[in-house]
Amino acid sequence: MTTAFDPIDLAGARLANRIAMAPMTRSRAEAERRIPTRLTAEYYAQRASAGLIITEGVQPTAVGQGYPNTPGLHSAEQITAWREVTDAVHARGGTIFAQLMHAGRISHPEVLGDGLHPVGPSAVTPAGQLFAGPGMKDFIAPRELTGDEVRETIEGFAAAARNAVEAGFDGVEIHGANGYLVHQFLATNTNHRTDEWGGPVENRIRFAVEVVRAVADAIGPERTGLRISPANRYNDIAETDTDEVYPALVAAIDPIGIAYLHVTEPVAEVRDLTLALRKRFSGTFVLNPATEGPTGPEALGLIEDGTADILAYGALFLANPDLPARLRADGPYNTPDTATFFGGDHRGYTDYPAL
């Protein structure tokens, strides 16, 4: 019987186990240059016993930033700073992918600076507010991307992927989930376009497919992953045809031969769709399962029964740098401190004790 502690081949790379560190925004990058710090390197190196580390969301372009103090991969300084992180992880035998996250409309001019304005597939204002540094701000209407700008954005993902490889990453994960730009193209309430990028399902999946193809062409499909979250309402997303969109998307990207598909379940009711996507996708299947609280040891059975090839752990990995060892020993577990999730110093970041 296969267990979460068995090694696995990921598109030619051998992972020590089937436990992944899920991407988690921590907002601890150096503010002006949007670069990771030495504390960031320590944070990820502490967690190098994961079979696969997927970093926090990294903006592929300046206008892709969604939150204060998040890092980028679009400047020479950022590449150099990330190299310190990847070297630290590799020194401890880890494998690390950078998550490329373009926030799209989930941003604000006070976050972006430099006169930039949030963009999206259509000029639809999200409901709610976001933290913009000095305080909470109402969302504003994004500027609708022109056809040429859509193509430029796709190339921005590819350029960031090349930068990631230069920075020493083993690959990248394209963030197509949680209401950010790729997801905004997929959903009917955020994509009102009437050109080749909107309307019927085959048009609304086009942006995601073209981003995947461009990144795979730039760095190789074996270094490319995609994260999706079917039926996720986060960031004011409303999907009207989830059961049509995601099978079509997976069918379109499968021939590209990417390393993995990462599915995040917002609710347990989507499990049937998860299983259907699992059957459609021929590569490695990573799952962040729907759970009542943080994903815990009870989820390990999803590897044993074949639901997933790799399990992604979020908050529990945040608080337990040696999580694979703790899962194997059946605990004990440190409790995540929610007050230190975003921003701050080493507290709640690199000071969680190992066994």
Active site (annotated) includes residue 67 = no
Catalytic residue among 180, 260, 313, 352: 180
State the Cα–Cα distance between residues 156 and 64, nearest whole angstrom: 10
HEC profile of the chain:
CCCCCCCEEECCEEECCCEEECCCCCCCCECCCCECCHHHHHHHHHCCCCCEEEEEEEECCHHHCCCCCCCECCCHHHHHHHHHHHHHHHHCCCCEEEEECCCCCCCCHHHHCCCCCCEECCCCCCCCEEECCCCEEECCCCEECCHHHHHHHHHHHHHHHHHHHHCCCCEEEEEECCCCHHHHHHCCCCCCCCCCCCCCHHHHCHHHHHHHHHHHHHHCHHHEEEEECCCCCCCCCCCCCHHHHHHHHHHHHHHHCCCEEEEECCCHHHHHHHHHHHHHCCCEEEEECCCCCCCCHHHHHHHHCCCCCEEEECHHHHHCCCHHHHHHCCCCCCCCCHHHCCCCCCCCCCCCCCC
Q: Could you tell me the two tokens for 285? A: 């299947």
Which residues are identified as catalytic? Answer: 180
